[in-house]
Amino acid sequence: MQVLHMVGGMGETSYANNSLLQRKVILMTKPIMEAAVTALFSTAATTFPASLAIADLGCSTGPNTLFAVSEIISIMINLCKATKHELPEFQVFLNDLPGNDFNTIFSSFLPRFQEKLSEQMKSKNGVSTTLPCFFSGVPGSFYGRLFPRESLHLIHSSYSLMWLSQVPQGLEGNRGNIYMARSSPPKVLRAYYEQFQRDFSTFLECRGQELVVGGRMILTLLGRRSDDPSSKECCYIWELLAIALNEMVSEGLIEEEKLDSFNIPQYTPSPKEVRREVQKHGSFSIDCLEVSEVNWSVFDSDFDPNVVSEDGGYSMARCMRAVAEPLLVDHFGEEIIDEVFKRYRAQLADRMSKEKTAFVNVVISLKKIA
């Protein structure tokens, strides 16, 4: 799945310029992050490490890449100041698949981040202080080992773990769909779930080896409340893209066989499914497991059918394009992409004008216990 990466660079359709929704989700989880960092600090207070190793898994490329890390470091600065502890050095690892645009992270976003961090230190201390903060890019799949044994203190991942390591086997018969849908045969739903179980179990096994005992892990996934994996709350966004693609099949713009062989490598678990895998693994205790919602239209807090954001469909289509375009280009070719997203935008705008549309987030905070 090396093709699975967000649209790179700084262009109009790049992830960097179309990831406001993901930023909002990170902000929503700040209290959980704060609790995890505070717990880590209090646990290690007597023997606090001189260097704190933090990994952000599935960091992508854009202003969000360093946003969670920035929050974590800010929390640590405040805690050390309040308890008169000396600040540790920070070792930050940014991980994503090799296709991720790491060059833009290190050439554009990191210098700005370091500048902002220096300003923050100056405002807190009254003098210019350089915070020892060392960054490394770690290309590779988090469904395998990435770091030495017991080398990390804190792991963060947001909106990455719902992506599977591969498209599940056995999806024949899912005709006209590109993901799990209400019309999908039971064997398709089962294939997706079993792939999630394998992948999440592997993820926990690898992170269990890489975290120190007492280390923390904060994970945010797209998920669902329902026990039904084909429920509208998690599948609707892809069903609307399937409608746009099916329209193009009916007009002869896409081959039917091409559509039937395209499937999204994603699984949006319920809190129950996440809890089950963690408990089965046994290396982590659960500090917190929460479910939240974020509207498709990130600018709206409440749905009002009488007040329709004119660019809601446009913004959401651009957000999804930044995520899905590499997968679509790899399978269908580049020629159809603009037309696909033009039709997808119309579908999104229509639905968003008629009903409340939201993503469900599953957030879990874990402590390494064995």
Q: What confidence tens digit (pLDDT) does each residue in 229-286 have?
A: 999 888 888 999 999 999 999 999 999 999 999 999 999 999 999 999 999 999 999 9
- Judge residue 78's burial from the number of C-beta atoms within 10 Å of its C-beta, 0-12 exposed, 13-18 middle, 19 or more buried: middle
pLDDT at 120 exceeding the cut of 80: no
What mean pLDDT is predicted for residues 20-46?
A: 81
pLDDT band at residue 166 under the 50/70/90 scheme: very high
What pLDDT score does 281 carry? Answer: 92
Helix (H) or strand (E) holding 124: helix 110-125
> Residue 342 and residue 340: Cα distance in Å, rounded?
6
pLDDT at 89 exceeding the cut of 80: yes
pLDDT band at residue 34 under the 50/70/90 scheme: very high
Which residues touch 75 (CB under 8 Å, ≥6 apart)?
Answer: 33, 34, 37, 38
pLDDT at 4 exceeding the cut of 60: no
pLDDT band at residue 187 under the 50/70/90 scheme: very high
Is the pTM above the cut of 0.85?
A: yes
Cβ–Cβ < 8 Å for 40, 85: no
pLDDT tens for 54-82 read 999 998 887 788 888 988 988 888 888 88
User: Taking CA 54 as the corner, what is the angle to CA 321 and CA 156, rounded to the nearest 5 degrees?
Assistant: 40
pLDDT tens for 316-361 read 777 788 888 888 998 988 899 999 889 988 888 888 888 788 889 9
What pLDDT score does 55 carry? Answer: 97
Q: Which amino acid is at 156?
A: H
pLDDT at 209 exceeding the cut of 90: yes
